[in-house]
Structure 1
Amino acid sequence: MPTTDSYADIRRRTRDICAKFPNAYWRALDLEREYPYEFVTALTESKLLASLIPREYGGLGWTLTEASIVMEEINRSGGHSAACHAQMYTMSALLNHGSQEQMSAYLPGIANGTIRLQAFSITEDAGSDTTRIVSTAEKVGDEYVINGKKTWTSRIDQSDLLFALVRTSPRNEKEKTKGLTLFLIDLRQVRVEQPDALEVTKVRTMFNYATNQVTYKRLRVPASAVVGEVGEGFRYVLDGWNAERILLSAEAIGDGYWFIDKATEYAKEREVFGRAIGTNQGVQFPIAEAYMKIRAADLMRYKAADLFSAGEKCGAEANMAKLLSGDASWESANVCLNTFGGYGFVAEYDVERKFRETRMYQVAPINNNLVKSFVATKVLGLPRSY
């Protein structure tokens, strides 16, 4: 397990990069919902985005615990990890289930920044009911032909590779998770050889998530693009989902600390009725309560990350970390906005921008109600509700 000193070094390395991209940088991008290319490039060159890639492929060979600290520090600096977090959690599917040929072909380039992997294409109109995916891949000779539509595929324009989960056999009510296959698609070849096979429609969202709707129109991919076994893709993305929940928990924790830091600083400086507003317990107590909830959620984040890093089951802890950290960051956001009062709605203070960003953790990467259902049925043994 990493030492406290190694954590401190990771935090310092991340903060040094983030310091070059202050709040004004993110504020300017937010106006036009622009992608932070310069920031992602700096992170890539620092190797921090290659945290989970083994050293033999040019990465840092870190654990998820250490990688989560990078995500936390980005958000705590005032930045937004959504621009690059997918490159972290997609590693699980590739490292655990990819072929040696796939890893050798792609991991060194991802580590050194010549290959970008930020796009994961899963969600359809069925939403969280992933077993009802209807996009298909049909085997034709040595290729698969993919057809269908995905409602949320982020950063496809910023990626060279794309993970796509599609159906290769009809849905079976007795084995609902079977029949889905995970493909690792080289977009560089697609853009040259099949430019009309992907229809990408940008989706403007409440904050910059660089997301899109993607329609697959007889996209041909080689059989070598299959990750693991045909029909077992659902099981493979579960690894990525647990990593995703933990990494985004760390992001929410980073947001929470950012809000607490901003609220505390402002409460010390802002004077009304002849004294600092932080003198009033009505201002103090909400900040203190929110801070304690962030600290408590942080413990679950580390527990989940440590279990994942040790190769142990962590589904319950990953889900609980996601819910607790998301709730804590949202409370911190509201406390911060209340502390700033009217100024909290003014763009130059950055509170309203981060307020919009941290709201996402209530519904993504999994809705909080589904987390509660998971804990109720999988942990407590209550009857299934869906």
Structure 2
Amino acid sequence: MIPLRDLLWVAWYAAAAAAVVAVLGLVLLHLLRSRSVAVQLAVVGVATVLATVSGIVVITLLMYLDEHDRAVALAVVIAAGTVAMGVSALLGRRLVAANRVLVEAVRADPYRPPSVPLPKELALLARELDAAYDRLAAAHEREQALEASRRELVAWVSHDLRTPLAGMRAMAEALEDGVVSDTETVRRYHGRIRQEIDRLAGMVDDLFELSRIHAGTLRLYRQRVGLDDLVAEAVAGTEPLARAKGVRLRGEAGPALPLEVDAGELGRALRNLVVNAVRHTPSDGTVEVVGGVEDGMACVTVSDACGGIPEDDLPRVFDVAFRGETARTPGGGGAGLGLAIARGIVEAHGGRIGVANAGPGCRFTIRLPPAG
């Protein structure tokens, strides 16, 4: 039986020899860190085999074997090492081939996940790349839709600015040149100019609000308010417009439901919906604003008598500058930003907004989470 002391010495020399080879392999890997995976795998395989072989060689030299036994041991070690390096190279080639398949899939346009089986890590990377490409495609579609909306917005705003500006210029020149001098006409011109200025100021305010929403800089100052208070304020604020057009405006809300919202911003969104409903409802029509609770969410519906919205236009109602068919064209002008602003404000509160045809017109619905 070999004494324990001798075994410890053998283990020490074998470990020292293997450690020297391992250190050399690590240094070589550091120098080749920017090379291909195949080269690095080859270095790992060779270093592993040489570390084992070096330990065995050292042991054969220390054990004072005769020439025959030493030659046999070294032959066995060399043969085993050669086979081990071959297996290592084969496995490395398979891994490199799988990596090449993934690279070719990434270079393809459009990207498709590889159909061949991959190692677990590369398969996980392929799934993550697939998800990333889906997110990029969705972001690209949103960017294209937003760019189209911006172009449409510029066209609409240019048209809506040009008309009142031309009218104000004509009236200002008439006043300046003395073409009109009677008191009644001068007063009417001044009143008309003031109305157009207020309208343009509202358009500029809407553009500023929409830019904050799109830029993600809309600041909400939340406070606890009642849903019934929001409905009452929206109805009271649009009552003069409804009365002037001959539209009946009704508002009601169930028991007070507390909300943690920015009352000013959310009130603006709700007023936009009510104003939109009044403008598109014919005289003697009715607009109803109803607040309540549905599936644990605060719910406000604004129903009008506009005659309905074409089904193809429903998904685009909240797009920037969308006006749709003649039945939805605002009688009072505007840049078509009210509904887009309403959607941005509601979504900033963590809520949802939608529209559907119902009865003699359509119904806009806002859903908001109640206060915690």
TM-score of the superposed pair, with normalisation by structure 2: 0.24
TM-score of the superposed pair, with normalisation by structure 1: 0.23
| Structure exhibiting the larger radius of gyration computed from Cα positions | 2
Q: Which has the higher contact order (CA 8 A, sep 6+)?
A: 1
* Higher relative helix content: 2
